[in-house]
Amino acid sequence: MLATKHQNIIDQAVRATHERTFYAQYPEHPKAYGDDAHAKGIQSYQQLLGKPFKQLLQTNETGWSGEEVSPYTREVLGITYPTFAADDLIRKAAIAGKGWKQLPVAERAGALTETLERIKDYFFDIANATMHTTGQSFMMSFQASGPHANDRALEAIATGYHELLRYPPQVSWEKPMGKASVKLVKTFRAIPKGIGVVVGCSTFPVWNTLPGVYADLITGNPVIVKPHPRAVLPIAIVVGVIQQTLKELGFDPNICQLAADSSNNLITKQLCENPAVKLIDYTGGSSFGAYIESLPGKSVFTEKAGVNSVILDSVKEFEPVIQNLAFSVSLYSGQMCTAPQNFFVPEQGIETANGHLSFNEVVQQFKEAVAGLTQHPKMGAGTLGAIQNDETLERAREARQLGGKVILEGTPVENEEFANARVFGPTIIEVSSVDNKIFEKELFGPVVLIIKTKDTDHSLQLAKQMALNFGAITCGAYTTDQEVKEKILEEMNSVFTPVSFNLTGPIWVNQHAAFSDFHVTGGNPAGNASFTNQEFIIKRFVWVGNRELAE
């Protein structure tokens, strides 16, 4: 019994979702997985290149399609994926879902945990696939698409497991009526809502996809995974492993299907608009996200664009702060949804334990820290990774024409291992607080804005307005003043934005840890989903209570 085999993992994970202290089922260090794993992963990845991808168990394809290009080599991967008619995918999902929803939740949880344990053996294949589709560095590719994604998936399993066992399956209800009583037997059932579709993005094809996939599956819904055509391989490997595991366990592999498509023949709308599809998870741009959210009769979970702010008020030591921020903005070239973009600095500068720093000194040190990091021969290319696509590169290149004062001009950065890699350092622009047309939108990629404000109250007011009107997934703040801290907390939380204070050293505002940090709060325009609060789970099924007169 898988339910028994993995009970310990599931119980620990449930406890972790409640306690919210540090917890990881899958270690984030590559070396935890054996010395030869890395080399074997490269080999496995290379064997996939230039061929049809055959690890899925889906049949009846209408064709084969593939258009991935490595941001590192700029070469086409040449892998093709089977494509399917939307109706065919829906039909198979509906059939597969019938058996899946009948299973006790403990069995679903056991089977799903088994899939994660099997995916673990492919972490390095997935890492290379992620690197050469998203442009993430190897380390980020490994961590984000491997252990971190698996932990987020386990978090969804655990939250679902807990919620689905919340009510007793059967109770005896006896109402006293004077001398007699009425007795009913009541049963409580969690009825899955229907077919789920999870729409992935090109930058985090696994990390942003697995929570929705496992949330659908644990709650008894079959799921169709619709990857971004530019980043299919990492999630294709994952879906392949899930299908193979499910089949081996005696389940219909179509419980989880891959719906690869191509840029000139996208099937996202066909899938999402199908009346049998009741659940949609989406990561991507805001306008398509608004379309998804507008579809009637669906439960929708979105992560859209947001503008993340950092408020600089006062610090103990400035050097560790600015090093931390330089890393935050450079990491994967600002292509994380949690990357900070808008830095609010008071015109009179900031206080430090070692004396006052003028506004210009702050700006100058920011520039030096970013330039020092990104042009560092050993650190630069690895931190920046590569730019996923030409549109983002173009945006980065043209950033200097946005307006404001160019503090640091972004330039191509050399990657020693991959001479053709699409690498471009951050552009830093100083703007005034009235330049809201510039800073009130997401400039996805390596673009940093330093906004000169009257004072910290003004910084806070602007950061709050940004979050309220344009969304924010996170906010960083630096202050040594307890009162200021409380005020920032109060105001930013009131627009449903979490705040990270005074981060220095090896922890960055960009990071959201499974089992502890809620990712996206669901409260502001950045999206209505949150990994993994209860809402992310319980909107996927309906509690129905039945009654019968007791004999």
Residues near a second copy, by CB under 8 A: 18-22, 163, 166-168, 171-177, 182, 184, 186, 188-189, 191, 193, 489, 493-494, 496-507, 513, 516-518, 521-523, 530, 533-535, 538-539, 542-549
- Tokens for 531? 């990994």
Closer CB to a second copy, 284 or 522, in the complex: 522
- Tokens standing for 466? 């940004």
Question: Residue by residue, what is the 3-state secondary structure of 266-328?
Answer: CCHHHHHHCCCEEEEEEECCHHHHHHHHHCCCCEEEEECCCCCEEEECECCCHHHHHHHHHHH
- Rank residues 39 and 544 by Cβ distance to a second copy and give the closer one: 544
* CA gap 20, 125 in Å, rounded: 30
The least distance separating a second copy from the CB of residue 460, rounded to whole angstroms, comes to 15
Strand partners, 82: 64
**Smaller CB separation from a second copy, 81 or 100:** 100
d(CA 508, CA 36) in angstroms, rounded, equals: 30
Spell 402-430 as b/e; 16+ CB within 10 A means b: bebeebbebeebebeebeebbbbbbbbbb
CB of 521 to a second copy, least distance (A): 5
CB of 277 to a second copy, least distance (A): 15
204/19 Cα distance (integer angstroms): 27
State the nearest-atom distance from the C-beta of 32 to a second copy, in Å.
12
Least distance between a second copy and beta carbon 472 (Å)? 11
Question: Distance between CA atoms of 253 and 313, rounded to whole angstroms?
Answer: 54
Report the residue number, 229 or 522, with the smaller CB distance to a second copy. 522
Q: What is the spatial distance between Cα 422 and Cα 391, in angstroms, rounded to a whole number?
A: 12
Smallest gap from residue 389 Cβ to a second copy (A) = 31
> Which residues share a beta bridge with 351?
314, 356
In whole angstroms, the minimum distance from the beta carbon of 186 to a second copy comes to 7
Residue number with CB closer to a second copy (45 or 301): 301
Minimum Å distance from CB 302 to a second copy? 14
Of 177 and 434, CB closest to a second copy: 177
Distance CA 361, CA 372 (A): 16
φ, ψ (nearest 5 deg) of residue 199? -100, 115
Contacts of 441 by beta carbon, 8 Å cutoff, 6+ apart: 305, 307, 470
Cβ nearer to a second copy, comparing 128 with 511 = 511
CB-based contact 537:160 (threshold 8 Å): yes
Q: What is the torsional sign of CA 340, 342, 346, 349?
A: positive
Residue 9: which of 155, 225, 133 has the closest Cα? Answer: 155
Q: CB of 95: closest distance to a second copy in angstroms?
A: 15
For a second copy, the closer of residues 403 and 545 by Cβ is: 545
Q: How many CA atoms lie within 13 A of 547 on its CB side?
A: 6
- Return the closest-CA partner of residue 415 out of 136, 140, 203: 136
Burial 163-181 (b: 16+ CB within 10 A, else e): bbeeeeeeeeeeeeeeeee
21 or 264: CB nearest a second copy: 21
Q: How far is the CB of 477 from a second copy (least distance, A)?
A: 9
Min separation Cβ 415 and a second copy, Å: 26
Say how far apart CA 23 and CA 13 lie, in whole Å: 8
Q: Which lies closer to a second copy via its Cβ, residue 288 or residue 518?
A: 518
Query: CB-wise, 103 or 249, nearer to a second copy?
Result: 103
